[in-house]
Amino acid sequence: MSARVALRDELASLGRYHSPQSPVEVRLNTNESPYPPPAAWQHAFSDAVRQVGFQRYPDREAKALRAAVGSRHGVEPEEVFCANGSNEVLLCLLLAFGGSGRRALVFEPTYGLHAHVAGLAGMEVVAEPRGADFRVDPVAGAAAIARVEPDVLFLCSPNNPTGRAEDPRTVAALVEGAPGLAVVDEAYGEFTSVSSLTLRDGSAGAEGLVVVRTLSKAWAMAGARLGYLVAHRDVVAGCQAAALPYHLSTQTQLAGVLALRYETEMAERVRAVAAAREELAKGLAELDVDTWPSDANFVLFRPRGRDASALWADLLAAGVLVRDFSSRPGLEGCLRVSVGTPEENERFLELLAGALR
């Protein structure tokens, strides 16, 4: 290709952010729910879709969906922005509040899309290290914020791919110290009992607080592509201005409104996944691997005395796909396994034990 069609630098490394999609028997690489949404949701959704006049554009304001999300969290619809997955939520947020000449701060290792989307939006990205246990150190974190003065601070709790939720006191202090937006990505928030949404009640820094959630994980709807943020109404208005008109299809809006009616089933799924995670962690503890505690639906582990990439390939050849982070700075030698069904987890543990022998 000629220099006139050169890819933007921000996109040159895109391949690194994607987990391969292989048609394997046991897929434990993208932190999806191992269980489908409830059958009652499936029926309600099919019925609702049959009634849609698809010749019309969707509701541009996604009023019913934002009201449903708002009532779940006790906020106004004007404080909710929805998009096609939380990745698109983040993209709209940074198109609105990022841009060249502005800085984003991330604590690595963390979810790679934060830095990637900030780069796409033209921002300078500053990466600071996490503490020894992969949590953000409150003192070092506060010092980094004072030094970098980020327009957008990213936190991720529980953190992907390391698994722990941040100490709520650390989050509160960092949000308070952030001069601009403080984005707390809670994609795995339903798996823990703590949420930064509680900081909205008059805490210092609440104006700049942005809490991001998704229906892709606990809600078992990764295929529907739906995520949202809860923030000050001016932040939401900015996101709406950056989003393309009619970006959220009628069927996505319906899927979300109906999904939120099955909160009890969601909580049951979360309990089942958390129990399976504990079994998985126990199984891993018996093997020759280092592991880290998880508050989410995945576990980070590091084989001792075995090359992680070669092990990843062996598992894949045997029909189990996990995520290879072994070449990511700070995660050398690490793999991440999503919590599957008890049968899937057992199969993974068996194969892993065999491969490590």
Residues 145-164 that bind ligand PMP (CB under 6 A): 156, 160
Quick one: how far is CA 251 from the chain centroid?
22
3-state SS, residue 219: coil
Answer yes or no whether residue 109 interacts with ligand PMP by CB under 6 A: no
Q: How far is the CB of 158 from ligand PMP (least distance, A)?
A: 8
Among 86, 170, 338, 345, binds ligand PMP (CB under 6 A): 86
Mapping DSSP to helix (H, G, I), strand (E, B) and coil, where does residue 324 land? strand
Is the CB of 166 or the CB of 185 nearer to ligand PMP? Answer: 185
**Secondary structure (3-state) at 291:** strand
CB of 123 to ligand PMP, least distance (A): 17
Tell whether residue 111 is a contact of ligand PMP (CB under 6 A): yes
185 binds ligand PMP, rule: CB under 6 A: yes
Stretch that binds ligand PMP, among 43-51, 79-87, 189-197, 263-271 (CB under 6 A): 79-87
Alpha-carbon gap, residue 97 to 152, rounded angstroms: 8
Chosen residue from 28, 33, 66, 87 binding ligand PMP by CB under 6 A: 87
* Residue pair 36/220 in contact by the 8 Å Cβ criterion: yes
The interface region with ligand PMP, picked from 82-90, 280-288, 302-310, 331-339 by CB under 6 A, is 82-90
Residue with token string 């069904």:
341
End-to-end Cα separation, the chain, in angstroms: 48
Q: Give the residue with the Cβ less far from ligand PMP, 87 or 291.
A: 87
Residue 209: strand pairing partners: 182
CA distance 343 to 349: 10
On the CB side of 127, CA atoms within 13 Å amount to 14
Confirm if 181 and 210 have CB atoms less than 8 A apart: yes
In the complex, the smallest distance separating the C-beta of residue 273 from ligand PMP, rounded to whole angstroms, is: 15
The nearest distance, CB 111 to ligand PMP, in angstroms, is 4
Which residues, numbered 223-242, are part of the site for ligand PMP (CB under 6 A)?
Answer: 227
Closer residue to ligand PMP (CB): 156 or 178: 156
Per-residue exposure over 75-109, b if at least 16 CB sit within 10 Å of its own CB, e if not? bebebbbbbbbbbbbbbbbbbbbbeeebbbbbbbb
CB atoms within 10 A of CB 15: 8
State the Cα–Cα distance between residues 98 and 157, nearest whole angstrom: 22
Contact between 125 and ligand PMP (CB under 6 A)?
no
User: For residue 215, which of 69, 44, 47 has the smallest C-alpha distance?
Assistant: 69
**Cβ proximity to ligand PMP, 123 vs 212, nearer residue:** 212
DSSP H or E stretch at residue 143: helix 138-148
107 strand-pairing partners: 128
d(CA 354, CA 320): 13
33 near ligand PMP, judged by CB under 6 A: no
Q: Determine, following the binding rule CB under 6 A, whether residue 222 of this chain makes contact with ligand PMP.
A: yes
Closest CB to ligand PMP belongs to which residue?
85
- Residue 256 as a binder of ligand PMP (CB under 6 A): the answer is no
To the nearest whole angstrom, how small is the minimum distance from the Cβ of residue 156 to ligand PMP? 5
Answer yes or no whether residue 38 interacts with ligand PMP by CB under 6 A: no
CB of 298 to ligand PMP, least distance (A): 9
Count of residues near ligand PMP by CB under 6 A? 13
Q: Which of 31, 157, 195, 196 is in the footprint of ligand PMP by CB under 6 A?
A: 31
